Amino acid sequence: MRVLALAILAMSAVSAAGPARAQTYDPNFPVCLHVYGPNTNHYECHFATLAQCAASASGRAAQCLLNPYFAQAHAEPPLRHYRRHRHL
């Protein structure tokens, strides 16, 4: 009887859990909107520019930030300064 009760309890706990979000940041977009409040705290990463994000954040408890996991981001190569030597 205990085994049956534990099995039912385990199945109800698993079915009551909501779907898990796989990833906080979407790596396909460079800008995210962090929405926060008493009942919510999530990221919306579907903006191409900070201006688009700022328009969505206007009047809301939210702030825009750059996506640290943007897949197409690339670092600029360091500038190389070459010295030219005079040949005498």
Question: pTM of the prediction?
Answer: 0.55
What ranges do the domains of the chain cover?
A: 23-71
- pLDDT of 51: 95
Q: Where are the alpha helices (DSSP H) in the chain?
A: 2-16, 50-57
The rounded distance, in Å, linking the Cα atoms of 79 and 33 is 33
- For the chain, helix (H) and strand (E) counts, in that order, are 2, 3
Question: Long-range CB contacts (< 8 A, 24+ apart) of 39-42?
Answer: none
Structure tokens at 32: 């995210």
DSSP state of 57: H
pLDDT, greater one: 46 or 25: 46
- pLDDT of 33: 94
The rounded distance, in Å, linking the Cα atoms of 66 and 34 is 10
